[in-house]
Structure formats: C-alpha cells, structure tokens
Chain A
Amino acid sequence: MAESTEIKTGVTTTQEKEPLFGKKERILITDPLLDNNPITIQVLGVCSALAVTSLVYPSLVMSVAVVFVCAFSSLFTSLLRNTIPKAVRLIVQLVIIATLVTIVNEALKALNYPIYKQLSVYIGLIITNCIVMGRLEAFAMANKPWRSFLDGLGNGLGYGLILVAVGFVRELFGKGSLFAGSPIEWKIIGPSAEYTINTMSEGLGGTLFGWYANNNLMVLPAAAMFVIAVFIWIQRAWNPKLVDAS
C-alpha cells in the first residue's frame, strides 16, 4: 500500500507538479469521517476519551485536543521518518506524542481552568490513545509530511465527530441541555424550572417539551457504550459491506 503510493507520487511529479489539495488529499480527510471511522470501523482509540462524553462541551474540547495531537504528531513523525531507527521507533513516537500532549495540557490549564479540571486525566491519556499511534505506524512512517498531516487531521476529525455525536445524544436526553458549561449553553427539552446543571446562565428562553423527564441512564458511563453500539448498528445496516465477516 505504502509502496504503491510512493511510486504513484514519483510518476506524477515527473509529469507536472502535484496539486496541494487534490482528490487523493481530499479522500485522506473524508474517508476516516465515515467509511473508515477510527471508532466505529477501525476500533482504535475507544480507550479513554469516551469518559468525557456526558456533556457536549468537554467532548468538543477533547476532540480539538485529539485533532491537534493526531495531526501534528503525524507531521513530525513523517518529517523524521527517514532518520528514526526501526528498533526505537515506538519510543520516538511516544516522545513526540507525549510532548504534544504536554503542550495541549499546559495550554488548557492556562486558557480554561474549569474545563481542564473536568477533563482531568483524560487529556494525558491521549498519549496512549491507540488512534494516534496507529496512524503514525500505519501511515506517517511511510508517507510524505503533507499527506501524513492530512491523514492525521482526517482521523482526528473522524474521532472527534463520534465523540461530539455521543456527547450530543447523552447531554440532550440525559440533561435536556446542550453545551452546558460553555458560554452558549442552551436548555432545550424538559422543564426549565429544574435547571440546575450550571446556574451561571439561564440559556435561551423556554424549552420545547415541558413534560420530558431527564433520562438518568444517559448520564451513566454505560450509556456511551449503548450510543456507540447504536451508531455502529445504523452505520453497518446502512452499508452492509462494513459488517464483520467473522
């Protein structure tokens, strides 16, 4: 796979200059969003980050962190790929990832302390998130920097998409609100009088279904599992090619 792409790029460069953002580059970003999603198809990186999905806002911050780490670790690994000895490549990759995660961690601590407290150890656990290292091993070690960067970006976005979607479902049905804890916090369904998640702001006006009682199951960690199972079910029922053969 890697060899064939190298050969192809070699051919195109002799004919004309390769476009910076052509069709192949677009596929690198769009493919991991659905048909090759890191969570629902590749089953990589389910690890830790799901624990933050009970609300949308922390999921969003977590996604941004993962996209940043995934994209830039791919870029740097790809830049260094010809100088890294095979025997110690895992250690080198871990050091690159750990450095980027440390940057994210310190930046978050400085910029938004409440969300830093809320995410607690899970920012640090991006280091052991298999999707980051998986892409480094599978793609960045064998491809040019720009394409590796896009691949990391695409996979980070595919991961973030699921994270935010899970957070959306869990917060909407578990607490009746969206973006609680953020400046644009919005109470959507359920009685507004019981609104006690975060009393800093009252949100935008009244709510849609006053009779709705919050579903406490959605607040439990187990709900993330159920929501992902349903996503997988829908996706594979939609596209039977993705069904497990075993």
Chain B
Amino acid sequence: MGEYINIFIKSAFIENMVLAYFLGMCSYLAVSKTLSTAFGLGMAVIFVLGITMPINWLINEYLLVSFELEFLRFIIFIAVIASTVQLVEMVVEKFSPGLYAALGIFLPLITVNCAILGGSLFMVTREYDLGESIAFGLGGGFGWFLAIIAIAAIRERIRYSNVPPALRGLGMAFLLTGLMGVAFLSLTGIDPAVFAGWSGTGE
C-alpha cells in the first residue's frame, strides 16, 4: 500500500506531467482560459488515464511482451486509447448523463492528449506492475488536473492586469507555467520514505 501512495504522490506533485514532462501541453494551453472548462477536462484526464493504464498494462504484458511484438507498441497503445475513449464516451452517455454533460465534449480531445500515451509509455520504460501503473495513472491524472485548474484560475485573474501587449495570452501562459514549475519544485522535498512506512491492513 505504501509504495502505491508513494507513486501517487510522486507522479502528482514531484514529477508533475505538465510541469516536469510537458505532457498534454496543447490542451493545457488551449482549454485553460476559464476555470469551469479546465475542471471538466482535468476530470476527464484523470478518468481516462485511470482506465487506459491498466488496460495497456495487460495488453503490453500478455500480448506484446509474450509474443515479442514490442515494435507494434505505439500502434497498439494509440489504438487502445482511441477505442477506450470511444467506449468510455458511449458508456458514460448511457449510464450517467450528468457526468456525460460534464465530460462529454472533452473526451474526444483526450485521444491526442500526450499525457495519456505518455503515461502508458512511461509505465513501460519504468517497468511498473499492475498496481503501480494504476497508482501512476491516477496520480499523473491528478497532477495534470491540479496544473490545469491552477493555470486557469491564474489566467482568469490576470485578464484584468496590465500585461505588455506582446506577452498577452500565449506568452503569459508560458511564463506562468514556468513559474508554477519552479513552485512545484519545492515539493521535491517531500520524503517518499514517510509513505513507504504506511502499510495496508494486515501487512
């Protein structure tokens, strides 16, 4: 249990997907103009990362590695992500119209969000097991969510500030992201050993 919490904390704060690895920057910059849409997209990313990571883990482990088809990894992963997103969209629409109304328009965008494919590729290079990859997916998604709602809130406020014309919009978004990245660096001080001590019941 402790190691999962450890991976969650690490992927959410210390190695934040946006601020440390630049994953999903396109939608991060494009959809962070207002807080409510940023919230919707952030939730959708957590949702899709949490679902696609275990599926890709199973496919990688039992299909690609055991049949030595690793060179097909990119094509298979992107196909899994695209079809999962499609499937999730249909299931959510059928069973939870409220959630669909909140996430609906963002789900198709997520297929080409680098954070999703990046998460699966990191999972392979870091050789996570199934539990760890779920923790990594949820943690990475949560970190992405945190970053996009933070930048959206700042951008809503900065609209009323006197920014030099040439920096307005995009330039300012880049500067703010850089500053947030520096701020998140202070979380590097979190000692993962503290969480490793937390064991689940019965251990």
Interface residue ranges, A against B (CB under 8 Å): 40, 43-51, 90-91, 94-95, 98-99, 101-102, 105-106, 120-121, 124-125, 127-130, 133, 217, 220-226, 228-229, 232-237, 240, 243-244, 246
On B, residues with C-beta under 8 Å from A are: 19-26, 29-30, 71-75, 78-79, 82, 111-114, 116-118, 121-122, 125, 164-172, 174-175, 177-182, 185
Do B74 and A48 have beta carbons less than 8 Å apart?
Answer: no
List 30 contacting pairs A-B, 8 Å CB cutoff, sorted by A: A43-B170, A46-B25, A46-B29, A47-B22, A47-B24, A48-B25, A90-B82, A91-B79, A94-B78, A98-B78, A101-B74, A120-B125, A125-B114, A128-B112, A129-B114, A217-B182, A221-B181, A222-B19, A222-B178, A223-B178, A225-B175, A229-B167, A229-B171, A229-B172, A232-B166, A232-B171, A236-B166, A237-B166, A246-B168, A246-B169
Partner of B25, one of A40, A50, A217, A226: A50
Residues of A within 8 A of B179 (CB): 222
Chain B contacts for A45, CB-based, 8 A: 26
Q: How far is the CA of A120 from the CA of B25 in the complex (A)?
A: 18
Asked if B29 and A98 make an inter-chain contact with CB atoms under 8 angstroms apart, the answer reads: no
Asked, given contacts A102-B71, A229-B171, whether A48 binds B114 with beta carbons under 8 Å apart, the answer is: yes
Q: Find the residue from A43, A48, A130 having the highest chain B CB count within 10 A.
A: A48
**B contact residues around A49 at 8 Å (CB):** 22
* Docked CA distance A79–B26 (Å): 28
Residue from B23, B71, B111, B175 in contact with A125 in the complex, judged by beta carbons closer than 8 Å: B23
Distance of B59 from chain A, by nearest CB (Å): 15
From B74, B79, B117, B181, A220 is in contact (CB under 8 Å) with: B181
Q: When the two chains form their complex, are residues B22 and A46 in contact, meaning their CB atoms are under 8 A apart?
A: yes
Alpha-carbon distance between A47 and B28 when the two chains are bound, in angstroms: 9
B167 and A233 form a contact (CB under 8 A): yes
Q: What residues on A are CB-neighbors of B167 within 8 Å? A: 229, 232-233, 236
